[in-house]
Amino acid sequence: ISSGEPLSALCTPALVVDVDKVKRNAQRMMERCHQLGVQLRPHMKTHKTLECADIMTGGSRRCIVVSTLAEATFYADHGFADILYAYPLPFDKVERCAALSERLDLFQVLLDHPDALERLRKRPLKGGRRWHADGVELTGVYAHCGNTYNCKGVEQIQAVAQETTSFTLQFMEKLKAVGISCKSSIGSTPSCSHPVSDMGKLSEVHPGNYVFYDVQQSMIGSCGLEDVAVRVLTRVVGHCPHRNQLLVDCGWMGISLDGAGKLPTGYAIIEGHPDLKLLSMTQEHGRVEPISGPLDYSKYPIGSLLTLIPYHSCAAAAMHPVYHVHSEGRLMGKWTPTRGW
Amino acid sequence: ISSGEPLSALCTPALVVDVDKVKRNAQRMMERCHQLGVQLRPHMKTHKTLECADIMTGGSRRCIVVSTLAEATFYADHGFADILYAYPLPFDKVERCAALSERLDLFQVLLDHPDALERLRKRPLKGGRRWHADGVELTGVYAHCGNTYNCKGVEQIQAVAQETTSFTLQFMEKLKAVGISCKSSIGSTPSCSHPVSDMGKLSEVHPGNYVFYDVQQSMIGSCGLEDVAVRVLTRVVGHCPHRNQLLVDCGWMGISLDGAGKLPTGYAIIEGHPDLKLLSMTQEHGRVEPISGPLDYSKYPIGSLLTLIPYHSCAAAAMHPVYHVHSEGRLMGKWTPTRGW
């Protein structure tokens, strides 16, 4: 596939990324954080690519969050620093964490158990490095406000954002009262898409999904459906009139099983076809049927293209070894995510 | 990780394959088919690796089924031939199918619509090759008996196997009556694990999952739980006494969301811990809680290893860029699956 070709030149299933929407989503989050006066530390787990990390950090290659050590290593290998590994310190990976700490300007790990502190003390860093100060020192407090994912609408999102912010700030006060001064970070795409002013009193926020968004985020109210930057392209590969269904070439290998039972249209929204739903996928096949009434097969000849808006872009992207990037429907290149742990 | 080390040397989550069970499952299927007098054409979609394909074909590198053209190309690149692409001919991939047909001794495609036949006629093969005979000729009839997946127990499996076999054989007779003589192939791991004698009248069978098996197959009755050759290893990364839960490092990235609502123990069976269930996974975390009663945290210190038997091994394997292979708990090496389409 050459650059400039239309999306229809792709073999399906294919995950496509609208780079203009990615840039717009990233730019808006940077502006929002700038206005709040809070440092943005974008999470990489949704896309796991170099290109998207550059867009999210405005090219600085500093101050990111990752969900796996594979991501941490991948970004470190490409010159990123100030990487926060947002995971309770895994005891099988202390040596790998130490190696990253010895190698990077700044590598941050999370602790939530006294045993984890012991593990760090038992593995002092080499080369004059320290797990911050003498032995181990607290750098900051990290919270997620994952309960924003149960919200519907801006009002509910902001209520949770306010609650999490207030709890975190109160906790910072308590720490200060016993002589500990440190950073604070909360995250989640819903709360950072609709921040409350108190979030400006935090040191950092760490959303991630916002760069792609998805149907789930649009249902929560984080974004409009027009902000969703990813699609899974699929083609009709069969007509099944005895079941009133189309067979398409996107199964759970192409979009994941995330979203089961969450949408009236099944595992995704089929763009431009609100009357259709995607249900009961196998590994490489999806079954599409009308929400009601008989299917007009003449509208969907074998080989015709359908465009799926994923329920959960993190899960859909995780199924694809490569993403196809376009601007206004013209292919520009590929992004290759890292994988594994 | 060096060869010979115990499984506990692995960072988690990790997909581990018991090579002895793989060989035993493969051997039993070969013997079963030999006794029936039917050609085994094993499906590669569950594992997508070279090593496992060698075991399933007894080293012949001939006569396999694949679910994607990425698999077809991967196996062709490694000297495999007589590859059947078990997919209704996708119109966006006719050129790639033609290229494989021109390159391999035998590459088979499936048609289930007259438009597909037209597509083949419009792309004659080069180098003296033909889509079998003059223009396009029927090589055989391919059916899946996927309805065996609704069975419980050998009796129900064999009833479906008999029904599918009878339908297929009757169809072959009808074809013969109009002068068409061709091959016949049915498949599914349940039916081929408990074949009926009439299946010996078919040309081929094409099961695939049997090489790994999984909890789903054991519930159907295809195998015993002791035959399941794959596990996902995970470690405890947190104690959540306020929720009566453990946090483990296997989320849906490590085992997939397949099996939701199918098992009393959640997304998997936790080996040796029938009192625990795995529920509500996020991308990189799983929550484990007792089926009833309070959790005894002293039994599960942070860092301790749990072993998950996946509900669906095809889906679990698809999440891993590498499989760790062991014999009797001693690591022997890695298998790397192909991915994409």
User: Domain of B236: which CATH number?
Assistant: 2.40.37.20
Residue A266 inside a domain? The answer is: yes
- What's the CA gap between A167 and A172, in Å, rounded? 9
Q: Taking CB atoms and an 8 Å cutoff, what residues of chain A touch B303?
A: 90-92, 115
Q: Look at residue A129 in the predicted model and tell me its pLDDT.
A: 86
Which residue out of B7, B122, B189, B253 would a mutagenesis test of the A interface target, given it has the greatest number of A Cβ atoms within 10 Å? B253
Please check whether residue B57 touches A, CB under 8 A: no
Contacts of A242 (CB under 8 A, 6+ apart): none
Residue B261 inside a domain? The answer is: yes
- What's the CA gap between B138 and B111, in Å, rounded? 9
* A138 and A231 share one domain: no
Q: Look at residue B327 in the predicted model and tell me its pLDDT.
A: 98
Residue B262 confidence class, pLDDT cut points 50, 70, 90: very high
Does residue A8 contact residue A212 with C-beta atoms inside 8 Å? Answer: no
- Six-digit token string for B297: 């945290």
* Pairwise CB contact (< 8 Å): A237 & B68: no
Residue B219 inside a domain? The answer is: no
Q: Taking CB atoms and an 8 Å cutoff, what residues of chain B touch A257?
A: 256-258, 260, 315
Of the three residues B178, B211, B244, the one that is the final residue of a domain is B211
Number of domains within chain B? 2
* Pairwise CB contact (< 8 Å): B340 & A320: yes
Does residue A10 contact residue A222 with C-beta atoms inside 8 Å? Answer: no
Residue the block writes with tokens 């203009």: A20
Mean pLDDT, range B245-261, rounded to an integer: 96
Residue B133 inside a domain? The answer is: yes
* B100 and B63 share one domain: yes
* Pairwise CB contact (< 8 Å): A11 & B93: yes
Q: Taking CB atoms and an 8 Å cutoff, what residues of chain B touch A115?
A: 301-303
* Pairwise CB contact (< 8 Å): B88 & A238: yes
* Pairwise CB contact (< 8 Å): A260 & B258: no
Residue B219 confidence class, pLDDT cut points 50, 70, 90: very high
According to DSSP, the β-strands at A305-310 and A323-327 are: unpaired
* A233 and A311 share one domain: yes
Residue B220 inside a domain? The answer is: no
Please check whether residue B20 touches A, CB under 8 A: no
Give the SS3 label for residue B230. Answer: strand
A139 to A39, A109, A172, A192: CA distances (angstroms): 15, 9, 12, 22
Residue A9 inside a domain? The answer is: no
Residue B256 inside a domain? The answer is: yes
Distance from CA of A273 to the nearest CA of B (A): 22
* B122 and B55 share one domain: yes
The verdict on ipTM greater than 0.90 is yes
* B27 and B138 share one domain: yes
Q: Taking CB atoms and an 8 Å cutoff, what residues of chain B touch A258?
A: 252, 257
User: Domain of B113: which CATH number?
Assistant: 3.20.20.10
B111 CB-contact burial (10 Å; exposed 0-12 / middle 13-18 / buried 19+): middle
* B149 and B294 share one domain: no
Which residue out of A92, A189, A262 would a mutagenesis test of the B interface target, given it has the greatest number of B Cβ atoms within 10 Å? A92
* B108 and B196 share one domain: yes
Distance from CA of A35 to the nearest CA of B (A): 31
Of the three residues A175, A210, A245, the one that is the final residue of a domain is A210
Q: Look at residue B209 in the predicted model and tell me its pLDDT.
A: 98
* Pairwise CB contact (< 8 Å): A88 & B238: yes
In order, the DSSP letters of A112-129 are -SHHHHHHHHTS--STT-
Q: Look at residue B133 in the predicted model and tell me its pLDDT.
A: 47
Q: Taking CB atoms and an 8 Å cutoff, what residues of chain B touch A303?
A: 90-92, 115
Does residue B83 contact residue B61 with C-beta atoms inside 8 Å? Answer: no
> Who among A90, A237, A322 is closest to B235 (CB)?
A90
Residue B37 pLDDT greater than 60, yes or no: yes
* B50 and B165 share one domain: yes
Q: Taking CB atoms and an 8 Å cutoff, what residues of chain A touch B68?
A: 284
* A151 and A28 share one domain: yes
Residue B109 pLDDT greater than 90, yes or no: yes
Of A337, A279, A328, which Cα lies nearest the Cα of A308? A279
Residue B132 confidence class, pLDDT cut points 50, 70, 90: confident
Distance from CA of A11 to the nearest CA of B (A): 6
Q: Look at residue B236 in the predicted model and tell me its pLDDT.
A: 97
* A32 and A157 share one domain: yes
Contacts of A198 (CB under 8 A, 6+ apart): A162, A165, A166, A169
* B119 and B206 share one domain: yes
Residue B55: give the domain boundaries: 19-211
Q: What is the pLDDT of residues A26-51, one digit of tens each?
A: 999 999 999 999 999 999 999 999 99
Residue the block writes with tokens 């999904």: A209
Of the three residues A163, A183, A210, the one that is the final residue of a domain is A210
**Which 103-162 residues of chain A touch chain B by CB within 8 A?**
112-113, 115-116, 146
Question: How confident is chain A (341 residues) per 10-residue block, as mean pLDDT?
Answer: 92 98 98 97 98 98 97 98 95 96 93 90 89 72 90 95 95 93 92 96 96 97 98 97 97 96 94 95 97 96 97 98 98 97 97
* B71 and B173 share one domain: yes
Q: Taking CB atoms and an 8 Å cutoff, what residues of chain B touch A111?
A: none
Residue B2 inside a domain? The answer is: no
Q: Look at residue A260 in the predicted model and tell me its pLDDT.
A: 87
Distance from CA of B233 to the nearest CA of A (A): 12
